[in-house]
Structure 1
Amino acid sequence: MNHSKLSDHKFDKGKFITPWNEFLNEIGRENSWFYGRLPEYLWLALIIDFYGRKEGLIKCYNIIKKLAEKKPDLFSPKFSNILDLDYDVQNKMFEYILSIIDVRVLAPLTAIFTYSNSPSFAAKFQTELSIEERIELINSIMKKTSDHQTNLSTDVRFVALYYNLLSGKLHIPKETLQLLLDYPNLSHEDEKMRTIRPLVRSMEIVPVEIDPYNEGYLDIFWESVSRMSDCELFYIEHAEEVLETKEYIDQVKTVLQYYKDLLVSISPLDDKMMVLLGIATYSYKRLLELVEHALFNTISGRSIVRVLIEDFIMMKYLIQNESTHNNIWTEYQYYGIGQYKLIVERYLQSGKTLANSHVSYDYMDFLVNEYKNKEFIDMDTTYFNKQNVRGKAISVDEKDLFDFFYDYDSAFEHGLWGAIRESSMIKCNTPSHQYHCVPDIENNQKMKSVWNDCVHVMNKTLELLEEIYGIPSSIKRSNER
């Protein structure tokens, strides 16, 4: 299946809808390949894997042909359908299967389908293999077929699809039928298979909505295999980078020191310069935290990238809109102070006392009253200038920063599952555990370093200041080394 582009998705009511889901109902978990259909067709995968593709497909063909003859009303060759057959029919079917394949082939499934829940199958396919060996074989096959596009998975899906044709449950054009008839005679590397393989996968999924899943069967299967398997955990280790952080931090400090001296000695009452340098210094202090606490590969590091980007976008936005406001620099200050006032007033109105909190409400109240009596400070609960970060990024031609970095880092700020999965959950490589995730309480999972992106945004911030205020060539040369 070719991967669709973002532009291929339909945007409707704030949601990007995949082209497949626009025309088909979204496939539920119970009907998905790995969770819902693979457990039903695992018996076919065991046969093909044991005998090899060519011989395995022939044996599967003979078996499903017999199944279609004995029970023509069966919609698919799901194992649950066979286990639900009348006892006598079931016995005869298993006897026929044993005339085609060795007892060892399906024996692993007796670890799940035992005398208590499937007496006929368990009796016919009893084995000397231990439970551990049987489960290991099942996990091995599931690893080979967990991806619905692997060679073995596609072969299994072909057998299931062919049964639909054999039993008369599915009708297709002659041209398509001929392609499917060629499938078992061609190697997966054959050029013709580039057309046939996707055809098999797309057609096998069509009857899913018509052929209901067997909830009881799936419960037994997954409960049994997961209980009898151990977790096999793995996590990604990123190579330690040698970072020249001290030299870069010193360079940034030198530049900001120059602008600070300029503000103090020449323009101490310049609101614009004070605001721009205040924002840039805040970014610098976040960068310092990154370095001093070695947060490069951490969740907190991603928060720092996000702040640096938002600070830079805000600086550009304020400069861009300066001419359309009486004093956008004062407005920006009072907007932020108004946010502080709102927090303080909520606290004071509650009548509660929060001991040992990291929030210093008394000091915040002092800051609110710093410039004028707080009775004259409004509290705006919208984004500054009524435009969100994305809108500001677009207006200052920095949409790439938002799309490629800010949106990603925001997922960590809001605790969205993508961020939680990447940073705080370790993958289990055991198929019978459905490749589930385990909480990383040992803090083994480290993510890629944010250092290069932080430097990139900090450099853009310093370049913006240079465009407005200039910089001596000696300091500039030092910064460029």
Structure 2
Amino acid sequence: MNHSKLSDHTFKKGKFITPWNELMSEIGRENSWYHGRLPEYLWIALIINFYGREKGLVKCNIILNKLKEQDPTLITPKFSRILNFETEKQTKLFSFLLTVIDAQVLSPLTTIFTYSNFPVFSSKFQSNMSVDERVETINSVMEETSDHQSYLSTDVRFIIVYFVVLSGKLQMQRESMTMLLEYPTLSHEDERMRMIRPTVRSMEMLQNEIDPFDGKYLDFFWEAVSRMSDCKLFYIDMSSELPDTKEYMSRVKVILEYYTDLLISANPLDNKMLVLLGITTYSYKRLIELVEHELFYTISGRGIVRTVIEDYIMMKYLLKNESLHADIWTEYQYYGIGQYKLIVERFRLLEKELSYSHVSYEYMDSLVNEYKNKEFIDMDTTYFDKQNIRGKAMSVDEKELFDFYYDYDSAFEHGLWGAIRESSLIKCNTPSHQYHCVPDIENNQKLRNVWHDCVSVMNKTLNVLEELYGIPSHLSAGVKEYEQ
């Protein structure tokens, strides 16, 4: 299946809708191949897996015809339907199966469908296989069929479609029927199968509409199969050797010392320069945290990347819109101080003490009053200049930074599920556990290094200052050589 591009999606009410979901209702978990359909047809997969494709398909054909003969009302060969047969009917069918296949073929299923709940099936398919061997067989087959496009999965899906054809519930064009009948006669290496396999899979998906899933069966299956084996956990460690940061950080510090001296000696009351240097220094201090605490491969490291990007975009935005405001630099300062005032005023309404809070409300209050009486400071709860960071990024030609970095790092700051999955959950490689995730409480999962992105954005930030105020070339060259 070719993956759709972003441009292929339909944008409605703030949501990108996939081409598939635009044409049909979204496929629920119960109707998915691995969770909702494979449990019903695992018995078929076991037969094909045991005997091989050629013999397995032949034996399945014999069994399907008998099954159809016994219950003409069946639409699909779901195992839940078979297990709901009355006792005499089950006994007759399973006795016939044993004339076609060995008991050990379906014996692994007796670890799920035990004698206490399914006495007819369990008694018919007992074998000398140990419990461990049966569990291993189930896990092995489920692993091979976990991909709905694998050869074994497609063989099983062919059997399903073939049975629906036998039931008379599936009508198709002659060309499609010819392809379907040709399927078992061709090897998967045959070039024609490149077209036939997708056709089989698409036809099998349509069976969800005519034979709905059995929720109770699925719950029972997954609960039973998940208890059979332990988790096999694995994680991806994307870290490498710690980067050499000392020389770069020292060179950035020299540059900031140069601009600080320039501010103090030549422009001590330059509000614009103060704001730009304040923003740059804040980014620099975030990099100090990154380096001193070795946060390169952590969640916190991504928060630092996000901060330095937003700082850089804000600097460019302020400069671009300077001419449109009477004093954008003072507006920017009082916008931020207004946010502090709002927090302090909310605290004043609280009728209890926050004894161990990390927030120093009294100090915040003194900062609010630093430049003028707080009674004259408004509190703006919207975005600065009424535009969010995405809009600001686009207006200063930094949309790429937003799309490929800031938006990603914001997921970690907001605790969105993608970030949680990447950083805080590790994968279980046990098929019978549905390849579920387990909390990474040992902190084994390490993310990719953020250092080089931080250097790149910090250098962009310093370049803004260089264009405005200049700097000796040897100082600026000293940091640029660290970009990759």
Indicate the TM-score class for this superposition, using the shorter chain for normalisation: over 0.9
Q: Which moved more, 1:328-337 or 1:113-122?
A: 113-122
Aligned mates of 2:413, 2:474 — CA distance in 1: 39
* Change beyond 3 A, Cα 1:287–1:164: same
Per the alignment, residue 333 of structure 2 pairs with 333
Specify the code of the residue in structure 2 equivalent to 1:330. Answer: T
Name the CA distance, whole Å, in 2 between partners of 1:121 and 1:13.
52
Number of the residue aligned with 1:440? 440
Cα deviation, 1:350-381, whole Å, max 9, x if unaligned, reads 23221121100011000000010000000000
Aligned to 2:19: 19
CA distance in 2 between counterparts of 1:352 and 1:24 reads 54
| Cα distance in 2 between the residues matched to 1:241 and 1:336 | 39
User: What is the distance in 1 between the residues matched to 2:345 and 2:213?
Assistant: 57
| Range that drifts further, 237-246 or 272-281 | 237-246
Secondary structure of 2:438's match? strand
Following superposition, the deviation at residue 479 of structure 1 comes to: 2.6
Please provide the CA RMSD for this pair: 1.3
Q: More deviation in 297-306 or 246-255? A: 246-255
* Deviation at residue 55 of structure 1 after TM alignment: 1.5
Long gaps (5+) in structure 1: none
Q: 2:149 matched to which residue of 1? A: 149
Range moving further from structure 2, 294-303 or 154-163: 154-163
Counterpart residue number, 2:72: 72
Deviation at 1:70, TM superposition (A): 2.0
Partner of 2:455: 455
Equivalents in 2 of 1:196, 1:469: separation in Å? 67
Alignment deviations for residues 99-158 of structure 1 (CA, whole Å, 9 cap, x no partner): 211111111001111222222211111112222221121111111111111111111111
How far 1:188 moved relative to its partner? Answer: 2.0
Amino acid paired to 1:403: D
Instruction: Report the counterpart of residue 46 of structure 1 in structure 2.
Output: 46
Counterparts of 1:116-265 in structure 2, within 5 Å, are 116-265=116-265
The aligned counterpart of 1:355 is 355
Separation (CA, whole Å) in 2 of partners of 1:135 and 1:478: 62
Query: What's the secondary structure of 1:438's corresponding residue?
Result: strand
Structure 2: which 5+ residue stretches go unaligned? none
Report SS of the residue matched to 1:190.
coil
Alignment-derived partner of residue 55 in structure 1 = 55
Superposed displacement of residue 91, structure 1: 1.7
Letter in 1 for 2:368: V
The one-letter amino acid of 1:24's match is: M
Q: 119-128 or 340-349, which moves further after superposition?
A: 119-128
Alignment map for 1:325-404 (pairs within 5 Å): 325-404=325-404
- Which amino acid in the other structure matches residue 28 of structure 2? G
Structure 1 match to 2:303 = 303
1:480 shift after superposition: 3.3
Query: Alpha-carbon deviations, 1:26-62, whole Å to 9, x = none?
Result: 1222121111111101011111111111211121122
Distance across 2 between alignment mates of 1:344 and 1:15: 37
Bigger drift between 78-87 and 332-341 goes to 78-87
> Which amino acid counterpart does residue 94 of structure 1 have in structure 2?
F
Deviation at 1:242?
A: 4.5
Distance 1:37 1:260 in 2: 67
Alpha-carbon distance in 1 for matches of 2:149, 2:405: 31
Per the TM alignment, residue 250 of structure 1 is displaced from its structure 2 partner at its CA by: 1.1
Secondary structure, counterpart of 2:96 in structure 1: helix
| Equivalent residues of 2:280, 2:461 under 8 A apart | yes
Q: Distance in 2 between matches of 1:401 and 1:231?
A: 39
What secondary structure, in the 3-state scheme, does the structure 1 residue paired with 2:426 have? strand
Task: Give the aligned residue type for 1:362.
Answer: E
> Cα deviations across residues 385-434 of structure 1 (Å, max 9, x unaligned)?
00001111111111111111111111111111111111111111111111
Residue 238 of structure 1: how far off its partner (Å): 2.1
Is the contact made by 2:239 and 2:449 (CA closer than 8 Å) also made in structure 1? no
Aligned partners of 2:187, 2:387: CA distance in 1, in Å? 58
In the TM superposition, residue 216 of structure 1 has moved relative to its aligned partner by 2.2
TM-score w.r.t. length of structure 2? 0.97
**In the TM superposition, what is the alpha-carbon distance from 1:239 to its structure 2 partner?**
4.3
- Cα distance in 2, alignment partners of residues 242 and 369 from structure 1: 43
Cα distance in 1 for residues equivalent to 2:251 and 2:75 = 72
User: How far apart are the structure 1 equivalents of 2:70 and 2:165?
Assistant: 16
Deviates more, 1:384-393 or 1:127-136: 127-136
Kept in 1: contact 2:310–2:389 (CA 8 A): yes
* 2:6 aligned with 1:6: yes
Which residue is equivalent to 1:81?
81
Give, in whole Å, the separation in 2 of the partners of 1:93 and 1:385.
Answer: 75
What number of residue pairs does the alignment pair up?
Answer: 481
Aligned to 1:285: 285
Offset, 1:457? 1.0
Partner of 1:34: 34
Q: Give every structure 1 segment of 4 or more consecutive aligned residues whose post-TM-superposition deviation is greater than 4 Å.
A: none
The 3-state SS of whatever aligns with 1:96 is helix
CA separation in 1, counterparts of 2:130 and 2:225? 14
Q: What secondary structure, in the 3-state scheme, does the structure 1 residue paired with 2:268 have?
A: coil
Amino acid at match of 1:238: M
Match status 1:107 vs 2:107: yes
Any idea what the Cα deviations from partners look like across 1:409-462, whole Å, max 9, x if unmatched? 111111111111111111111111111111111111111111111111111111
* C-alpha separation in 2, matches of 1:198 and 1:456: 45
User: Identity of paired residues, percent?
Assistant: 69
The residue matched to 2:454 in structure 1 has which SS? helix
Give the corresponding residue for 1:426.
426
Using the alignment, how far apart are the partners of 2:199 and 2:273 within structure 1? 64
The residue identity in structure 1 corresponding to 2:54 is: K
Is this contact kept in 1: 2:103–2:125, CA < 8 A? yes
Q: How many Å separate the matches in 1 of 2:456 and 2:178?
A: 57
Post-superposition Cα deviations, 1:183-235, rounded to whole Å, max 9, x if no partner, equal 22222232222222221111111120221211222122111111121111111
Q: 1:103 to 1:381 in 2, by over 3 A?
A: same
Taking structure 1 as the reference length, the TM-score comes to: 0.98
